[in-house]
């Protein structure tokens, strides 16, 4: 089958492309301003990419058009497909019908931690010899790719609540029909498509409805929003984590015992930062246990887990200043990420550098939560380019501890002017942020060079 993917450079659709090719299909695709890193991964696989959405692509005559959710009505290629009554489908539906059908799907849903928890789960299953397939919204350093078809019956999928496609406004995850489902957490997000938290809870309820009686839901002990979801109906086994009645942890964030109903079943020793990652680990261990993996083996596997690119990733050190990169963009994720770095780096200041880039943040829906989210940072530097609300005014409660710039180079200069040896610069964005990480490191190296005494 020849499939042509619209919006192929998105992480999810690029993963679908890689899976389709591995399954023996001929794959081509297009996107606006074909961009890395997915464009580079796809080109390395030999997948043909076309710049833009010109209707002339109809001449490719694929067997199926697969339409990503970034493509809306009015797109010239999409309109031509509809006018000529060509066969089309969404990425999630294609995945469900051609990859997930007949397999044991383990889905990881939640507002936060989906990518990291999915990567942990896939790694545990890999170390257990199960050779799982996976489709994850990031690149796990242990695998080096975001998607793999796999050899066995297990498939791990990051189950996103964002909408499916122009023609299907249900959440992506309703297509996956998992046997094991982690509901990691649930907060309001995606203000561009959901009017309120209740609307997202309804989508999670739809997901719960698809899990079979012999399936299992893995849910945190304390979450009011998820309790409301479960109160609307639960027909599967239910396992809790993060409390005393199910899976729990005892010890430090980087060395802790894992307990099941108060009985120790393994110990995790790793380098990951943050209380949130300990919770992610419990959820992954619980899901792997449902698939038959011994918890002690799962704990040992996590001790070798290297993490996910752009999740508290140390990009480099220059002039005594560490520069970290993280995907955090929701206020809760920002606060949690700063807290994790604060715990791991007790000495030195934290300089938080963030970009309100997500659709929700661009709308300004959560701007009032930003001061509290950034409270634990010693200094905060916000990038106001690309938004039409007053970031400086939103951060005013932080006083002199917050600074804003509308120009990226001015932002780099401002951070470097304030950074000193021993500081930790934490860059947070769900985009490339104009390559600010390397720009900061380069500027810090130049500063160090100019300060060096002449020989």
Of the residues 23, 55, 90, the one at which a domain ends? 90
Neighbours of 400 (CB within 10 A): 6
Rg (CA), the chain: 22
Q: Is the pLDDT of residue 316 over 80?
A: yes
Residues 6 or more apart in contact with residue 222 via CB below 8 angstroms: 242, 243
pLDDT in tens, 199-245: 999 999 999 999 999 999 999 998 999 999 999 999 999 999 998 88
In a domain, 178, yes or no: yes
Regarding whether 380 and 342 lie in a shared domain, the answer is yes
Regarding whether 336 and 283 lie in a shared domain, the answer is no
Residue 452 to residue 433: CA distance in whole angstroms: 30
Greater pLDDT, 274 or 242: 242
- In this predicted structure, which of 123-132, 343-352, 420-429 has the lowest mean pLDDT? 343-352
Regarding whether 107 and 46 lie in a shared domain, the answer is no
SS3 144: coil
User: What is the CATH classification number for the domain harbouring 356?
Assistant: 3.90.190.20
Regarding whether 376 and 263 lie in a shared domain, the answer is no
Q: Is the pLDDT of residue 455 over 60?
A: no
Residue 220 to residue 214: CA distance in whole angstroms: 20
Q: Is the pLDDT of residue 454 over 60?
A: no
Regarding whether 138 and 47 lie in a shared domain, the answer is no
Cα–Cα distances (Å) from 243 to 63, 142, 149, 153, 299, in that order, read 50, 29, 35, 31, 18
Regarding whether 249 and 124 lie in a shared domain, the answer is yes
Regarding whether 373 and 417 lie in a shared domain, the answer is yes
The single residue listed with the structure tokens 């989210």 is: 373
Cα–Cα distances (Å) from 200 to 175, 183, 209, 243, in that order, read 16, 13, 14, 24
Average pLDDT over residues 294-300: 98
Residue 88 to residue 4: CA distance in whole angstroms: 10
Cα–Cα distances (Å) from 85 to 29, 89, 211, in that order, read 19, 12, 34
Q: Quote the pLDDT of residue 107.
A: 98
pLDDT in tens, 156-169: 999 999 999 999 99
Question: pLDDT band for position 37 (50/70/90)?
Answer: low
In a domain, 225, yes or no: yes
In a domain, 82, yes or no: yes
Regarding whether 172 and 36 lie in a shared domain, the answer is no
Please state the domain count of the chain: 3
Of the residues 64, 90, 116, the one at which a domain ends? 90
Q: Is the dihedral of CA 428, 433, 438, 442 positive or negative?
A: negative
Contacts of the segment 210-214: beta carbons below 8 A, 24+ positions apart: 210/174, 210/176, 210/177, 210/178, 211/177, 211/178, 211/179, 211/181, 211/235, 211/236, 212/179, 212/236, 214/179
Residue 239 to residue 211: CA distance in whole angstroms: 14
Q: What are phi and psi of 73, to 5 degrees?
A: -55, 140
pLDDT in tens, 140-196: 888 888 899 999 899 999 999 999 999 999 999 999 999 999 999 998 888 788 999
- In this predicted structure, which of 28-37, 102-111, 294-303, 330-339 has the lowest mean pLDDT? 28-37
Q: Is the pLDDT of residue 308 over 90?
A: no
Regarding whether 423 and 347 lie in a shared domain, the answer is yes
In a domain, 238, yes or no: yes
CB 39 within 8 A of CB 49: yes
CB 117 within 8 A of CB 308: no
In a domain, 118, yes or no: yes
DSSP 143: T
Regarding whether 220 and 275 lie in a shared domain, the answer is yes
CB 373 within 8 A of CB 402: no
Regarding whether 333 and 285 lie in a shared domain, the answer is no
Q: Which of 227, 235, 133 is nearest to 183 (CA)?
A: 227
- In this predicted structure, which of 192-196, 280-284, 296-300 has the lowest mean pLDDT? 192-196
Average pLDDT over residues 348-375: 86
In a domain, 95, yes or no: no
Q: Quote the pLDDT of residue 135.
A: 97
Q: Quote the pLDDT of residue 451.
A: 63
Residue 234 to residue 239: CA distance in whole angstroms: 12
The alpha carbon of residue 424 and the mean position of all alpha carbons in its chain are separated, in whole angstroms, by 23
Q: Which two tokens stand for residue 111?
A: 């507002």
Q: Is the pLDDT of residue 129 over 70?
A: yes
Q: Quote the pLDDT of residue 452.
A: 59
Q: Is the pLDDT of residue 36 over 70?
A: no
Regarding whether 85 and 61 lie in a shared domain, the answer is yes
Q: Is the pLDDT of residue 253 over 90?
A: no
In a domain, 336, yes or no: yes
The pTM of this model reads 0.83
Average pLDDT over residues 34-45: 77
- In this predicted structure, which of 34-43, 228-237, 256-265 has the lowest mean pLDDT? 34-43
Residues 6 or more apart in contact with residue 195 via CB below 8 angstroms: none
Of the residues 38, 64, 90, the one at which a domain ends? 90
Q: Quote the pLDDT of residue 204.
A: 97
Q: Round the average pLDDT of the chain to a whole number and report it.
A: 91
User: What is the CATH classification number for the domain harbouring 127?
Assistant: 3.40.1190.10
Cα–Cα distances (Å) from 414 to 115, 323, 440, in that order, read 32, 15, 10
Q: Quote the pLDDT of residue 139.
A: 78
Residue 383 domain boundaries: 313-451
């Amino acid at each position: 089958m020849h499939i042509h993917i619209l919006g192929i450079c998105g992480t999810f659709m690029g993963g679908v492309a890689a899976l389709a090719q591995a399954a023996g299909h001929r794959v081509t695709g297009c996107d606006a301003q074909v961009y890395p890193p997915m464009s580079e991964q796809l080109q390395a696989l030999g997948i043909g990419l076309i710049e833009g959405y010109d209707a002339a692509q109809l001449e490719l005559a694929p067997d199926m058009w697969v339409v990503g959710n970034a493509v809306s009505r009015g797109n010239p290629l999409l309109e031509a497909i509809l006018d000529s009554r060509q066969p089309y489908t969404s990425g999630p539906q294609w995945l469900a019908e051609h990859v997930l059908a007949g397999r044991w799907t383990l889905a990881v849903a939640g507002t936060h931690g989906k990518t990291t928890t999915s990567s942990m789960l896939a790694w545990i299953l890999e170390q257990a010899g199960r050779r799982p397939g996976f489709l994850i919204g990031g690149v796990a350093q242990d695998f080096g790719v975001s998607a793999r078809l796999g050899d066995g019956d297990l498939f791990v999928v990051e189950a996103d609540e964002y909408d499916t496609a122009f023609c299907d406004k249900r959440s992506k995850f309703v297509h996956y029909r998992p046997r094991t489902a982690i509901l990691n957490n649930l907060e309001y997000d995606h203000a561009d498509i959901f009017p309120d938290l209740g609307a997202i809870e309804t989508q999670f309820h739809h997901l719960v409805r698809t899990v079979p009686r012999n399936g299992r839901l893995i849910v945190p002990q304390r979450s009011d929003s998820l309790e409301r979801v479960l109160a609307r109906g639960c027909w599967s086994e239910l396992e809790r984590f993060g409390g005393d009645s199910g899976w729990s942890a005892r010890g430090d964030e980087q060395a802790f015992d894992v307990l099941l109903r108060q009985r120790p079943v393994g110990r995790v020793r790793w380098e990951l930062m943050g209380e949130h990652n300990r919770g992610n680990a419990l959820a992954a261990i619980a899901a792997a246990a449902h698939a038959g993996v011994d918890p002690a083996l799962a704990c040992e596997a996590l001790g070798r887990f290297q993490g996910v690119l752009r999740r508290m990733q140390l990009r480099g050190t220059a002039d005594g200043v560490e520069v970290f990169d993280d995907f955090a963009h929701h206020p809760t994720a920002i606060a949690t990420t700063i807290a994790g770095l604060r715990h791991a780096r007790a000495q030195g200041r934290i300089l938080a550098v963030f970009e309100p880039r997500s659709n929700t943040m661009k709308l300004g829906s959560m701007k009032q939560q930003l001061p509290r989210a950034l409270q634990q940072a010693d200094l905060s530097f916000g990038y106001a380019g690309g938004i039409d609300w007053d970031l400086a005014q939103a951060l005013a409660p932080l006083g002199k501890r917050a600074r804003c710039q509308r120009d990226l180079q001015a932002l780099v200069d401002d951070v470097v002017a304030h950074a000193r040896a021993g500081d930790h610069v934490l860059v947070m964005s769900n985009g490339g942020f104009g390559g600010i990480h390397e720009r900061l490191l380069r500027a810090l190296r130049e500063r160090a060079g100019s300060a060096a005494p002449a020989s």
